[in-house]
């Protein structure tokens, strides 16, 4: 296809039933997306637009469809009316932002032998049970699937802690889960830290094959290197190390100690230790690349169709004697702009190599 079929609707946040189609009126369309974060969508509509009456922040939301599939939705959050220019600049945020506006207000909550994903759903339930004047005011986010395998022996959440931030904190610990808010149902779906889609058909290339990449940068850094990893839990410690003796001689010992006091399962500690060593046993390689805009080349993977945020994609790049051959790269963040003809441009990709360099 020459370009993707995008549609944008304004709706009430309560039910997400479309009120008006602004597809042909909104300009400056730009998504900023990051795994385990709300993300945002910025756009502009004319003041005379039929949709102008549905732009009150939080009360209304925006729904983005690509080829008739809802790929993103979120509440309008800021609104700037430019009278001389006769336009309204709007910014929407993903639904998770509502959890950043909720706090644990009743008492502290302690859970024993609780799965990490279940702990997050417990926090979500606290938010959805909160009331004003004895009337429950939920967040519209509901609990969906959970494939997290990490279990805490005991986990305590204190009164007055921010609910959204505590869920984010769970994602940021070692072996922390990933989550997405379904843009259609608003279900929070939680996946294990190593449970992501390996998109072997999403192939980007510089100076090779489809040549659908403008530029590639490869940075190599020994600062995060760890070829001997200790993971301590409530009842024990797991150790793993790079068994390649040549590497041990060439690089020396780079140790790392990870403390996860809530975890008692030694098998989980060992799995975390092995994974950390496997990823970090050699100098960390960070690869960033800038794909061509849609329509500039014949073959380019499409976001939301061929791959999604959090997926593993592949990159090949060649220049002089340097080359990257079919390297697996996981995507943690990106910016997507859509011009008035529907052509997409993905940029500012946040990536990390799945293996060390060397």
pLDDT one-digit tens code per residue, 100-113? 999 999 999 999 88
- Confirm if 73 and 115 have CB atoms less than 8 A apart: no
pLDDT digits (tens, 9 = 90+) for 189-200: 999 988 999 999
DSSP, residue by residue, 198-261? EEEEEEEEESSTT--EEEEEEEEESTT--SEEEEE-SS-EEEEE---HHHHHHH---EEEEE-T
What predicted TM-score, i.e. pTM, was given to this entire model?
A: 0.88
pLDDT score recorded for residue 262: 75
Query: Does the pLDDT at position 272 exceed 90?
Result: no
Tokens of 236: 């024990």
What's 299's DSSP letter?
A: -
pLDDT at 352 over 80: no
CATH number of 6-95: 2.30.300.10
Among the residue ranges 79-83, 118-122, 141-145, 214-218, the one predicted with the least confidence is 214-218
Q: How far apart are CA 91 and CA 74, in angstroms?
A: 10
| Average pLDDT of the chain, as a whole number | 92
Structure-model confidence comparison of residues 183 and 173, the more confident one: 183
* Alpha-carbon distances of 312 from 158, 197, 225, 233, rounded to whole Å: 36, 6, 22, 30
Average pLDDT over residues 202-222: 93
Tens digit of each residue's pLDDT (9 = 90 or more) over 276-289:
898 899 998 888 89
Phi, psi of 271 (to 5 degrees): -65, -40
Q: Which residue has the higher pLDDT, 234 or 54?
A: 54
Q: What proportion of the chain, given as a percentage, has pLDDT over 70?
A: 97
Task: Give dist(CA 356, CA 286) in Å, integer.
Answer: 9
| Whether pLDDT at 181 is above 90 | yes
Element (H, E) at 317: strand 312-319
Comparison of pLDDT for 349 and 241, the residue scoring more? 241
User: What residue has token string 């808010």?
Assistant: 181
Question: Would you say residue 273 has pLDDT above 70?
Answer: yes
Least confident window among 65-69, 75-79, 130-134, 218-222 = 218-222
| Mean pLDDT value of segment 11-30 | 97
pLDDT in tens, 119-151: 999 999 999 999 999 999 999 999 999 999 988
Average pLDDT of 234-255?
93
Residue 356: predicted pLDDT = 39
pLDDT band (50, 70, 90) for residue 358 = very low
Residue 147 neighbours by CB distance under 10 Å: 12
How far apart CA 356 and CA 358 sit, in angstroms, is 7
- Residue 230: its pLDDT value, please? 96
């Amino acid at each position: 296809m020459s370009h993707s079929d995008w549609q944008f609707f304004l709706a009430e946040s309560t039910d997400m039933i479309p009120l008006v189609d602004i597809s042909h009126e909104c300009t400056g369309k730009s998504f900023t997306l990051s795994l385990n974060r709300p993300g945002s969508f910025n756009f502009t509509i004319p003041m005379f637009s039929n949709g102008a009456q549905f732009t009150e922040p939080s009360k209304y939301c925006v729904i983005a469809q690509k080829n008739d599939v809802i790929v993103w939705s979120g509440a309008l959050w800021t609104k700037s009316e430019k009278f001389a220019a006769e336009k309204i600049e709007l910014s929407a945020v993903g639904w998770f932002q509502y959890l950043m506006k909720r706090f644990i207000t009743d008492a502290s909550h302690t859970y024993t032998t609780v799965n990490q994903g279940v702990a997050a759903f417990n926090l979500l339930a606290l938010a959805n049970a909160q009331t004003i004047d004895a009337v429950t005011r939920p967040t519209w986010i509901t609990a969906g699937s959970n494939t997290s395998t990490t279990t805490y022996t005991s986990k305590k959440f204190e009164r007055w802690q921010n609910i959204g931030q505590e869920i984010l904190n769970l994602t940021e610990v070692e072996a922390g889960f990933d989550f997405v808010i379904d843009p259609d149902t608003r279900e929070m779906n939680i996946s294990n830290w190593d449970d992501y889609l390996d998109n072997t058909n999403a192939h980007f290339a510089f100076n090779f094959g489809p040549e659908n990449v403008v530029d590639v940068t490869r940075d190599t850094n020994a600062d995060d290197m760890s070829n001997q990893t200790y993971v301590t839990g409530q009842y024990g410690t797991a150790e793993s190390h790079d068994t390649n003796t040549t590497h041990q001689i060439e690089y020396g010992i780079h140790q790392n100690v990870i403390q996860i006091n809530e975890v008692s399962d030694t098998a989980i500690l060992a799995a975390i230790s092995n994974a950390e060593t496997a990823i970090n046993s050699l100098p960390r390689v960070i690869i960033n690349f800038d794909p061509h805009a849609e329509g500039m080349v014949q073959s380019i993977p499409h976001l939301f169709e061929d791959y999604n945020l959090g997926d593993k994609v592949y990159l090949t790049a060649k220049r002089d004697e340097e080359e990257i051959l079919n390297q697996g790269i996981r995507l943690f963040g990106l910016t997507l702009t859509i011009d008035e003809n529907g052509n997409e441009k993905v940029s500012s990709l946040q990536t990390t190599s799945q293996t060390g360099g060397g």
